[in-house]
Amino acid sequence: MAKTRQKPDLLQGTLDLLILRTLQWGPQHGHGIGVALRASSDEVLNVDHGSLYPALHRLERQGWVDAEWKLSDNNQRARYYRLTPSGRKQLMAEESKWDLLVKAVSRIRNPV
Amino acid sequence: MNWKRWRWTYWTDLFRRRKLAQDLDDELKAHVQMEIQRRISKGESPDEARRAALRDVRSLDSVKEATRDAWTWTSIERLMQDLRYAARTLLKTPVFAGIAILSLALGIGANTAIFSLVNALLLRTLPVSHPEELVLLTSYSREYRVGDFAYPDYLRLRDQTQVFSGLLGAGSGNRMEIDLGNRTDRPQVQIVTGNYFTVLGVQPLQGRLLVADDDNAPVAVISHGFWQRSFGGDPSVVGKSLMIRGSLCAIVGVAPREFHGDSAGEATDVWMSLGMQQAVTFSRFDMQKVRYVTWANVIGRLKPGMTIEQARAEAAPLVGQIHESAGTSPDKDYLHHIVMQPGGRGFAEMRERLQAPLLILMAVVALVLLMACTNLASLLLARAASRQREIATRLAIGASRMRVIRQLLTESVLLALIGGAFGLLIAVWINRFLLNLVSQGLVTITINLNPDGRILLFTAGVSVLTGILFGLTPAIQAVRRDAGPFLKTSSRTIGGRTRRRLLRNVLIFAQVALSLVLLTAGALFVRTVRNLKTVDTGFAAGNVLSVGIAPHRTAGPAQEADLAARLIDRISAIPGIRSATVAVNATLGLAGSGVYGLEIEGYTPKNEDDQRARANWVGPRYFETLGMSVLQGREFSMADTLNSSGVVIVNQTVARHYFGEESAIGRRVRFNKRDHEIVGVVRDAKYRELREVSPRMVFFAFLQYPSGVNNVEVRTDADPLAFAKTVRSAIKQVDPQLDAFEVATVAQRIDRKLTPEYLVADISGFFSGLTLLLVCIGIYGTLSYSVAGRTNEIGVRMALGAKRSSVLRLILRDILWTLIAGLAVGLAGALAAGRVVESLLFGLKPHDPVTLTFVVLLVAAVALLAGYIPARRATRVDPVSALRAE
């Protein structure tokens, strides 16, 4: 029996944004994305692998990232994800959406 | 998301799913390896790192599951799961599945069968280029449809049109004897204009097709079928010659395999050029010059961009010109106006003959399918009720309602699809039966009934729709209730029962009403056929053999009379033959004649119509041969010849119409500038149609009006068909040129006339019988379930002292009102349906009280019987065990 999919829009959107943003700097495999996210958020965000891989596959399906098997730095076969042109566009859209959200939230928190 | 991309990945995923799963596996393994290395590089011990990495990823399986959910194909996977589960469930209840599939298969099969006939005869367009550009031209006199055109009129239309790029002319097909050297064959031959194939846009398979120049040459094109049958597909057939009725005709080409001619249901074997026309018709008129013989059926091809409206606008002035130059008046001519219809489906004769019966049959089988569907719905409903616990459990452990409904729908669609598959098989069988039936009556229908795309689509569509439409309501009903009570207590709880019972009763109601309509229609059609078969024809049809003879070369009246006399003498001499005679029109044959301008001595005609009568030219002992009684006077003899004074015999209707109570014998009739004395009055009879109401009929002596012999009628002592060969060879002995193209009994002629009626009566009779069975199954199934569900209640009632009879009443009362309502509405429906089919009935009215009473009683009896069996089972309930089961 299929699980009912949980779709908290904000969270999912956020994870998508973070993944796309990480891939902006070049192709990366799943593990590397996880490490990068943790490192660049100063260990604040610890992305659950149970969400990371489904998100990656979903992004791939939507055509925002491409994947191919390559050898990693220490000679291990890994699936590398790369941002596609439409993924780049999506990233820009997600970022402006995020900016709007942040602005809106901070306006509420610190009314002028 | 990009739709195209999605669809593409969807399907590639389906086939690549194994690879995708493997990839995911590898990817996660690589992830774990990398995590271990990362931890080791941070200083953890290998063991520790491995444990941590695995803990971190937690269960790999749940990650896989979640990831797989991101793949679209899981919905396909789920469908496969549903299908597997549905198949298992159906296998567990084979009786239910069997009944459901069987009734659906019958319903869908009947629809597919009739639809393939409708498709082949009414819908399919000719296999020619751009059939939508073709227009069918039909000539009409002021009063009736003529159909074909005189050749000079066709020429004028063809040469003066601005709208059509071409107009073809085609005679109607005839079987003609062809001498193939070592043997003879009898192909369907059609005479066509040289532009026939050009206008239709057909390309040759071998050699060439006809061209305009062929109008003066004796050439022919043969069909693929005839080429295969008679020449074994000989590649050198082009250039060979056919010997037809004493003339040679060169084969110039073979038509493509899929092209059978210009009419649905009738296949032509040989298309012969106009140059052969006089040679094979032996007409005394030049059929390409005179305006009083019509034979050309006309189809035109519109110029690109032209419309049928423009063609209509153009036709009227052209008809005017035709009459102007011929000096005729449209009111008294065969050609009053031209009707134009889209001609992509070819000529319409067979279509018009079978259209009404086929559409009625389509309606009948549609109702049968509806019955089968309501049956399925009530079976599903009863079954869903017995699966309450299962469904409640699934809902309780977290299945969404949509999910359960989808599962139940998968089951009903699966049922319907299996039913549809069997239906296709049944359709093939029904079609074979139908074609046999239609072809029996001497009309050979050649149609391709192989299931084509349209038919498969039709069947699949009907099946899926059936499954969804009639599975949906029971499925929604099944999940509507709360799960709680069914789990907590037993399944005997009353909750939600009223709504379900209402739905159940609606279904029974629909079945009763539908079956009443179908049975009434079936009974009316069956009785119509019986009435037609037992109608008083006015002659004794048994032991009469009727021989059609093709037109042949004759020299003059004296020789024609002589030939007729020799034929009569020769055939009468055959042992076992009582009498033989000749006639211009065969009894109940395809053709009939009329005369006008009759002048009756001592009678003042009221109008032009008063001087008209139907007529036949018949030989000596005609009435004796056919068994028509001569009421007064005598019949024709060998002594009524060209040299004796004119005589005529009339039927009762003529005698009554012109002379009332006075005797008609001895009166004089002037016709065709000749005087005739009425020498006999014969009983009224059916001459062309079984449904006709005795027309005024005048018989002239054939030997006084000799023509080429085209009909010989023979009365035999024993089975007339046993004499077919002898009579045929006797005719050949008299003149080898004579071609006896049709030898049939009058009974066979009647069968041919009745083909549409047989078609309707057999099919609707069979299926209305079937609906009775469906009603039985429906009511029995529903009540059985209802009784089983109320065992407990009945047990209590009986424990409290209820009598068996009152329990019986309790159960039957449940359906009694439904039954009465169904009968009432069905009766109204039957009356309405009767009005639609009234024109097909004979000898009874659509509201025929006997039929209606019989049908209502029949349905009521069957319904009560089907209800009584489960009801009686209820009275056998043992109160003690019923209560203990609780």
* DSSP secondary structure letters along B660-727: TTS--TT-EEEETTEEEEEEEEE----SS-TT-----EEEEEGGGS-----EEEEEESS-GGGGHHHH
A 10 A CB-CB count for B467 gives: 26
Q: What is the mean pLDDT of residues B129-149?
A: 88
Question: Mean pLDDT throughout B382-400?
Answer: 75
**Residue B801 pLDDT > 60, yes or no?**
yes
**Percent of chain B surpassing pLDDT 70:** 90
Label residue B575 by pLDDT band (50, 70, 90): very high
Q: Above 70 in pLDDT, residue A12?
A: no
Mean pLDDT in residue range B669-675 = 87
pLDDT band at B843 (very low <50, low <70, confident <90, very high): confident
Nearest CA-CA partner of B514 in B368, B385, B723: B368
The pLDDT assigned to B440 comes to 58
Q: Specify the higher pLDDT residue, B830 or B245.
A: B830
Determine the pLDDT at residue B681: 95
What is the model's pLDDT at position B115? Answer: 85
Cβ-contact B254, B221 below 8 angstroms: yes
What local confidence, expressed as pLDDT, does residue B447 receive?
Answer: 62
Q: Are B372 and B519 in contact (CB under 8 A)?
A: no
Q: Which residue has the higher pLDDT, A1 or B297?
A: B297
pLDDT-based confidence at B727, cuts 50/70/90?
very high
The alpha-carbon gap from B30 to the nearest alpha carbon of chain A, in Å, equals 6
pLDDT on residue B492: 44
CA distance A15 to chain B (A): 15
As a whole number of Å, the end-to-end CA separation of chain B is 56
Q: What per-residue confidence (pLDDT) applies to B438?
A: 67
Judged by DSSP in three states, A68 sits in: strand
Q: Does B155 contact A at CB distance below 8 Å?
A: no
Question: Considering only A6-20, A48-62, B290-304, B540-554, which range has the smallest mean pLDDT?
Answer: A6-20
Closest CB to B70 among A2, A61, A78: A61
pLDDT at B497: 58
**What gap in Å lies between CA B329 and CA B471, rounded to an integer?**
65
- The type of residue at B630 is V
Token readout for B306 is: 């032209």
Which of these, B191, B257, B200, B263, lies nearest to B226 by C-alpha position?
Answer: B257
In this structure, the strands spanning B647-651 and B674-682 are parallel
Q: Provide the percentage of residues in chain B whose pLDDT is more than 90.
A: 24
Which pLDDT score is estimated for B494?
A: 43
> Once rounded to an integer, what is the mean pLDDT over residues B756-774?
84
Q: In Å, what is the CA distance from B853 to each residue of B371, B820, B823, B824, B860?
A: 22, 14, 11, 12, 11
Nearest-Cα residue of chain A relative to residue B54: A49
Enumerate chain A positions whose Cβ falls within 8 A of a Cβ in B.
1-5, 29-32, 35, 49-51, 53-55, 57-58, 61-63, 72, 74, 76-79
Residues of A in contact with B57 (CB under 8 A): 49
Nearest chain A residue (CA) to B32: A31
Q: Give me the pLDDT at residue B618, please.
A: 94
Q: Mean of the per-residue pLDDT values for chain B?
A: 83
Inform me whether the C-beta atom of residue B67 falls under 8 Å from chain A C-beta atoms.
Answer: yes
Predicted pLDDT at A2: 37
**Segment B703-720 mean pLDDT:** 90
Residues from chain B contacting residue A33 (CB–CB below 8 Å): none
Report the distance separating Cα B698 and Cα B657, nearest Å: 12
Highest mean predicted confidence (pLDDT) among A79-88, B60-69, B445-454, B863-872: A79-88
pLDDT bracket for residue B885 (50, 70, 90)? low
Rounded to an integer, the average pLDDT of B12-31 is: 73
Nearest to A54 among B56, B67, B78 (CB): B67
* Positive/negative CA dihedral, B703, B707, B713, B714: positive
Smallest Cα distance from B58 to chain A, Å: 8
Which residues of chain A make contact with B67, given a CB cutoff of 8 A?
Answer: 53-54, 57
Chain A CB contacts of B74 below 8 Å: 2
**Confidence at B141, pLDDT banded by 50, 70, 90:** confident
B808 vs B827: CA distance, rounded Å: 27
CA distances from B208 to B11, B173, B224, B243 (A): 48, 21, 13, 20
Supply the pLDDT for residue B75: 64
Contact A57 B67 (CB under 8 A): yes
Query: Quick check: B80 contacting A, CB < 8 Å?
Result: no
Read off the pLDDT band of B569 (50, 70, 90): very high
For residue B748, the model assigns a pLDDT of 83
pLDDT reported for residue B655: 93
Of the candidate ranges B490-494, B632-636, B697-701, the one whose mean pLDDT is the lowest: B490-494
Whether B886 and chain A come into contact, CB under 8 Å, resolves to: no
**CA–CA distances in Å: residue B855 to residues B241, B361, B666:** 62, 19, 54
Report residue B436 as tokens. 């046999």
Is A31's CB within 8 Å of B30's CB?
A: yes
How many Cβ contacts (< 8 angstroms) between chains A and B? 77
Residue B456 has pLDDT above 50, yes or no: yes
Confidence (pLDDT) at B823: 93
**pLDDT value of position B886:** 52
Q: What is the pLDDT of residues B476-509, one digit of tens each?
A: 877 775 544 444 444 444 444 566 677 778 888 9
DSSP 8-state symbol, B213:
G
> Of the given ranges (B66-75, B111-120, B285-294, B339-348), which has the lowest mean pLDDT?
B66-75
pLDDT at position B448 over 80: no
Query: What confidence score (pLDDT) does residue B294 get?
Result: 85
Gap between the Cα atoms of B778 and B506, Å rounded:
12
* Least Cα separation, residue A105 to chain B (angstroms): 29
Over residues B650-660, mean pLDDT: 92
Contact B245, B280 (CB under 8 A): yes
Interchain pair A30, B1: CB under 8 A: no
The interface pTM score, or ipTM, of the predicted complex is 0.81
Q: Could you say which of B30, B66, B403 has the minimum Cβ distance to residue A54? A: B66
Q: How far is CA B270 from CA B250, B296, B454, B548, B855, in A?
A: 11, 17, 30, 21, 51
| Strand partners for B341 | B136
Distance from CA of B480 to the nearest CA of A (A): 20
Q: What is the pLDDT of residue B276?
A: 85
Whole-model pTM: value is 0.70
Chain B residues near residue A77 by CB distance under 8 angstroms: 26, 30
